[in-house]
Amino acid sequence: MSGGDATAAAEAPVLFEERAAANGRRIGIATLNAPKTLNGLSLEMARLLDQRLQAWADDEGIVLVVLQGAGEKAFCAGGDLHGLYRSMLEYREAGHRDIRENAYASQFFAVEYRLDYRIHTYPKPVLCWGHGIVMGGGIGLMAGASHRVVTERSRLAFPEITVGLYPDVGGSWLLRRVPGHGGLFLALTGASLNGSDAIHAGLADCYIAQARRDEVFEALLRADWSSAGGENAQVLGALLREHAAQPAPGPLQQHGQQIEALCAHAGLEAIVQAIQSLATDDLWLATARDTLAAGAPGSARLAFELQRQAAALSLAEVFRLEYIASLHCAAHGDFAEGIRALLIDKDRQPHWRPAALADATAAWAADFFHAPWSAGEHPLADLGQPTTE
């Protein structure tokens, strides 16, 4: 490879590598390669990942896939908010009314959700090394992996209430399963989780010190892999347990009973009132309370309604519902305003509409679940359906 080719490869948004392992097998490694943006997931990155995961699934020589992020700060801090913001401005300036007419958002969410679902249903073990920041779209990539590692510097969160969105990428399904109403609390407050709390919440499986990463990867190359995905999953699990530690409980666990009581009230309004009335000197709880108070009331309502609906839906159905809601958020919700205030003008003074939870009613939210297609025409209609070769 020439110097120019090597430089171009190193600057690719996702780096793909195959390493020779025992028994003539190979391990596929995908590295998100945008450390300057904390490995934020772009449409191009999602497409590249999806294509390579498809290829590796069909390659009998690949026994394991590893997902990781470049740099020491983040696995993936979320999705491409700048690109989505530009598409929302163009959509609104053109006077569009049909949510399908935002071509970039339509493609971005379809490719991202399809990729996330592929990871959830992948036929081979997927090891996600979730070191550093893992937020929003990063959790979408990590959550479906069969083996999810967190470290002493892992910080996971669904902070969408601060930008006028809601916990998407399957978050409605994932957070519904957090013990003690914790998932609703996380959605409403954007509260961050350390490695221990991520495991408690069902968003991670194993805690390993970052200093042992190279040791783990070397062990992967020596492991006795077979041609059976199920057997390889057991081999990987045992290998990771040999290097794992037991971290102390984090804030979500420490305050579990209080959080469960706060979120056990009947109706969103009572729950929000209880959290906002919280008198505490605890920094984690106070930050959660204040984030909710400053966040978009519409986002709180959408998160609540989506978790409620997710109780009766499969994961594929949740992705289809979230796809509709996300396009509505891009078309007429607070998403553009939230990004403007946080990332564009950086004034941190968003003007939410609706401005109060009293106006963000269940009836108001119903419009966000209206589909412009018949069920069979949904861009994600084939998720969860048997494939024919």
> pLDDT at position 386, please?
72
Mean pLDDT of 267-271: 98
Mean pLDDT of 158-176: 98
Residue 299 lies in a domain: yes
d(CA 273, CA 80): 32
As a whole number of angstroms, the longest Cα–Cα distance in the chain is 65
Residue 30 lies in a domain: yes
Residue 48 lies in a domain: yes
Residue that the structure tokens 């309502």 belong to: 301
pLDDT band at 385 (very low <50, low <70, confident <90, very high): confident
At residue 68, does pLDDT exceed 50? Answer: yes
> pLDDT at position 229, please?
72
> pLDDT at position 264, please?
96
Residue 115 lies in a domain: yes
Q: Which helix (H) or strand (E) is 278 found in, with range?
A: none
d(CA 102, CA 331): 8
> pLDDT at position 228, please?
76
pLDDT over 90 percentage in the chain = 93
- List pLDDT tens digits, range 303-315: 999 999 999 999 9
Residue 326 lies in a domain: yes
**Looking at the 3D structure of the chain, how many domains does it have?**
1
- List pLDDT tens digits, range 1-36: 555 555 556 789 999 999 999 889 999 999 999 999
Do residues 67 and 127 touch, judged by C-beta distance below 8 A?
yes
- Distances in Å between the Cα of 266 and the Cα atoms of 85, 125, 166 are 35, 41, 21
How open is the CA angle 198-294-289, to the nearest 5 degrees? 50
- List pLDDT tens digits, range 39-57: 999 999 999 999 999 999 9
Structural domain for 140, as ranges: 9-377
Q: pTM score, two decimals?
A: 0.95
Q: What is the CATH number of the domain that holds 111?
A: 3.90.226.10
d(CA 370, CA 373): 9
d(CA 68, CA 49): 12
Mean pLDDT of 278-303: 98
Residue 389 lies in a domain: no
d(CA 322, CA 341): 24
Tokens of 56: 């590796």
d(CA 151, CA 147): 13
With H, G, I as helix, E, B as strand and everything else as coil, classify residue 36: helix
Residue 204 lies in a domain: yes
**Average pLDDT score over the chain:** 95
Least confident of 5-14, 172-181, 324-333: 5-14
- Distances in Å between the Cα of 192 and the Cα atoms of 38, 156, 240, 285, 299 are 16, 5, 24, 10, 17
Q: Which helix (H) or strand (E) is 1 found in, with range?
A: none
Residue that the structure tokens 């970052």 belong to: 210
At residue 213, does pLDDT exceed 90? Answer: yes
- List pLDDT tens digits, range 71-93: 999 999 999 999 999 999 999 99
d(CA 41, CA 81): 9
Measured in whole angstroms, the distance separating CA 103 from the mean position of its chain's CA atoms is 22
Residue 384 lies in a domain: no
With H, G, I as helix, E, B as strand and everything else as coil, classify residue 59: coil
> pLDDT at position 243, please?
98
Residue that the structure tokens 């390493």 belong to: 19
> pLDDT at position 308, please?
97
pLDDT band at 131 (very low <50, low <70, confident <90, very high): very high
> pLDDT at position 388, please?
46
